[in-house]
Amino acid sequence: MYQVPDQHGKLAVVTGANSGTGKEAAKRLAGAGAEVILAVRTPAKGHQAAAEIRAAHPDAQVQVHRLDLADLSSVRSFTAALSADGRPLDLLLNNAGVMNVPQRTETADGFELQLGSNFLGPFAVTTGLLPLLLDAPAPRVATMSSGTANRAKIDFEDLQSVRDYSPTRAYAQSKLADMLMMVHLAELAEQRGWNLVSAGAHPGYTRTNLMTSGPTLNGGRPGLLETIAYKIVPSQAPEQGAEPLLYAATSPDAVSGGYYGPRWAMVGPTKPVALPRPGRDRATAARLWAEAENLTGAAIPGPR
């Protein structure tokens, strides 16, 4: 099991921290001494997770903030509250997401739900918190992608899947977008001389409610292939599935632009893994970043 290095004195934000890999990451960070903000859509579930973390680590410093990544007004309220507090942010773990929504659904801002929740919301969070991150001595942004991104592409002509919606294709596109966001942020940090590590991870095949909550939205249910895959494909628990993200966020060996996942693709201990071909396309990453700025109205601060 990956041992999180000492995190005393650090402030971390973990999105989707009420369950699955997010809750496990928050628990491990708090156990290592970090003060952790559980950024969750449903505060009651966040407080339950906080209680579980405190039960495991009585000295844990955890707090719950509401964040709905499918609503940019919620994102702005969240980043504004942290900015008003003014405390430098050491770690941002972009973990939350939704998967394989059966029917095309829109966010509060009219974005396709998977693109909005998995990419555009996290993009707005990351850019909104960037000034606080850059005030920290050695900040990191760790972003969760997925193995499904390996065969995905960004369809700029139908980014919101209006003309042609596929649950799995929209999910894969959103996770490739996360990967490209990580890559472009790492490039920006290098260009501007920021002491910021932007690294990515994928959890392999991890048993969380992500696999069931998305497919059952709006009365849907998982397809036959999904149901069979859940039963026969090698999988792992959140304790293991969270480790690539924790490694990206805390390991002294993690590098900016690095990508980390299970040793055997689906399961196993964390190791560096190669970015797939779609994730290495810097021109697409830059174009997608600009498109995300246009869609969300969020942008990074000027050179500093």
236 SS3 class = strand
Q: Are 158 and 184 in contact (CB under 8 A)?
A: no
pLDDT at 235: 74
- In whole angstroms, how far apart are CA 28 and each of 45, 51, 256? 18, 14, 22
Which are the contacts of 14, defined by CB distance < 8 A and separation ≥ 6? 22, 25, 26, 29, 36, 37, 38, 39, 93, 95
Per-residue pLDDT 10s for the chain (304 aa) are: 899 999 999 999 999 999 999 999 999 999 999 999 999 999 999 999 999 999 999 999 999 999 999 999 999 999 999 999 999 999 999 999 999 999 999 999 999 999 999 999 999 999 999 999 999 999 999 999 999 999 999 999 999 999 999 999 999 999 999 999 999 999 999 999 999 999 999 999 877 665 545 454 556 555 666 555 656 677 788 899 999 999 999 999 999 999 999 988 788 899 999 999 999 999 999 999 999 999 999 998 766 5
Torsion of CA 165, 170, 171, 176, to 10 degrees: 170
pLDDT at 214: 45
pLDDT at 265: 75
Instruction: List active site positions.
Output: 171
CA distance between the termini of the chain: 38
